[in-house]
Amino acid sequence: MKFSGLRVLKEGLTGNNGWAPHWRDPEPKAEYDAVIIGGGGHGLSTAYYLAKNHGMSNIAVLEKGYIGGGNVGRNTTIVRANYFLPGNSEFYSHSLRLWEGLEEDLNYNVMHSQRGLINLFHSDGQRDAFVRRGNAMINQGDDAILLDREGVRKHLPYLDFENVRFPIYGGLLHPRGGTARHDAVAWGFARGADRRGVDLLQNCEVTGIDIENGVAKGVQTTRGAIKAKKIAIVTAGRSGQVAAMAGMRLPIESHILQAFVTEGLKPCIDHVVSFGMGHFYISQSDKGGLVFGGDLDFYASYAQRGNLPMAEHVMEAGMTLMPMIGKAKVLRSWGGIMDMTPDGSPIIDKTDTQGLFIDCGWCYGGFKAVPGSGYALAHLMATGQSRETAAGFRLDRFRTGRGLIDEEGTGSQHNLH
Ligand SMILES: Cc1cc2nc3c(=O)[nH]c(=O)nc-3n(C[C@H](O)[C@H](O)[C@H](O)COP(=O)(O)OP(=O)(O)OC[C@H]3O[C@@H](n4cnc5c(N)ncnc54)[C@H](O)[C@@H]3O)c2cc1C
């Protein structure tokens, strides 16, 4: 089933009876060439690129719940390539380039909208830091424009510029930054993988990893044992638990991150805006809801919901930045489980067990990484070599201390990233 404007028109005129399910619902096979544990964005894109770029199709994605039920369907949908440090910047730059061709590649509307992202700064020191970041982005081949206060006012006239606690000095505009519809990204990759022969096994929780003489042989699941030549753990907030099944203790803490959405409003915010003096970021969805979020809940947990003190903190930051937001009614809030590494940067690597790979540590920034991560992990699984854009995401950097990528400059405290 291929999507096109003509097809939508035809179905619209003939009662929408011709649409087929996006993917099959197969029974697990006894053995696969590769098994991906976790049907989130990263697991699905890994399966997709294994099939597309490396010609593998005897692959299964094992998801304990339903496709899109994890963080991939819970985030605030921001897609950007404005990282500063080598190691990260080339990876996110590649990922954004993949986003730019994704809809055509997947034949699926993921509603990728490059509406521009503006990071505000509120002091001379912050301006210096953003000038450096902007130069690093441009050197990397991405785009960055420094705005002064009046430049920001032209783009974002609704911000509070007068008599405020944290005056706005300016902002760094990243024109190619923006948003994408999170569920659609999961569905698009799932459909794309399925079309290339990948089995998507939902309600299939992995409960054990079989290892013999240091070699991964298969997994135990709630739908039976499955043998596999290669296995990847791609379970985001649950990475620590699943890696423990292979006897590994990861340098990861799982923390809650909340998000909020208001009632639908007429278009009023046409960028992604990020506050420089509090952790607050906001955009407006195509349905009209203002989608926003802030900091982690500051304690480790596997709960997929947050608590009121952080909700209050986020609302306060929003009111400080744009008092008009106080008129909107918040409809829903939710939480996801973030896999926080000590340096705030991810892991895509082999493990000490032969045939066992791991992709995790995306902290609260892994949505934008979905295409780049799947591309890089598929490359590693198929060729045994790290792709150059992901060569720094080594697991052993936390043991040796060499090659840490401390993007946020917050040291080793997981909850400060
Ligand atoms: C509120 C919030 C806001 C965010 N905002 C942004 C943002 O604006 N931009 C951005 O780039 N990132 C953002 N993120 C981060 C981003 O969503 C995550 O980093 C990313 O989605 C994680 O990768 P994933 O999609 O593969 O994870 P998930 O979708 O969580 O996938 C992991 C899957 O593994 C499955 N699983 C776990 N254990 C097992 C098991 N034993 N067996 C089988 N399956 C298992 C889970 O059910 C889950 O479906 C945000 C996250 C949250 C929660």
Which one, of 331, 55, 48, lies nearest residue 185 by Cα?
Answer: 48
The arithmetic mean of pLDDT across residues 284-306, rounded, is 94
pLDDT for res 1: 80
For CA atoms 227, 71, 286, 331, the dihedral sign is positive
What residues flank ligand 1, with Cβ below 6 Å?
37-43, 62-65, 69-72, 74-78, 205-206, 234-238, 242, 257-259, 293, 336, 362, 364-368
pLDDT at 352: 97
Q: What's the chain's average pLDDT?
A: 96
For residue 187, the model assigns a pLDDT of 98
The pLDDT value recorded for residue 17 is 93
Nearest one of 204, 177, 168 to 116, comparing CA atoms: 177
Q: Say if residues 181 and 283 touch (Cβ distance below 8 Å).
A: no
Nearest residue (CA) to ligand 1, atom 13: 365
Least confident interval from 66-70, 163-167, 172-176, 327-331: 163-167
pLDDT band at 417 (very low <50, low <70, confident <90, very high): confident
The reported pLDDT for the residue numbered 278 is: 86
pLDDT grade for 164, boundaries at 50, 70 and 90: confident
For ligand 1, pick from 62, 219, 367 the residue to mutate: most ligand atoms within 8 Å of CB.
367
pLDDT digits (tens, 9 = 90+) for 233-273: 999 999 999 999 999 999 999 999 999 999 999 999 999 99
First to last CA, the chain: 42
pTM: 0.97
- Which CA distances in Å does 224 have to 33, 47, 201, 216? 17, 21, 12, 17
What pLDDT is recorded for position 330?
97
Q: What number is the average pLDDT over the span 200-204?
A: 98
Average pLDDT over residues 357-385: 97
Q: How much distance in Å is there from the Cα of 236 to the middle of ligand 1? A: 5
Is residue 3 over pLDDT 90? yes
Distance 48 CA to ligand 1 centre (A): 17
How close is the Cα of 413 to the center of ligand 1, in Å?
21
The pLDDT of residue 410 is above 90: no
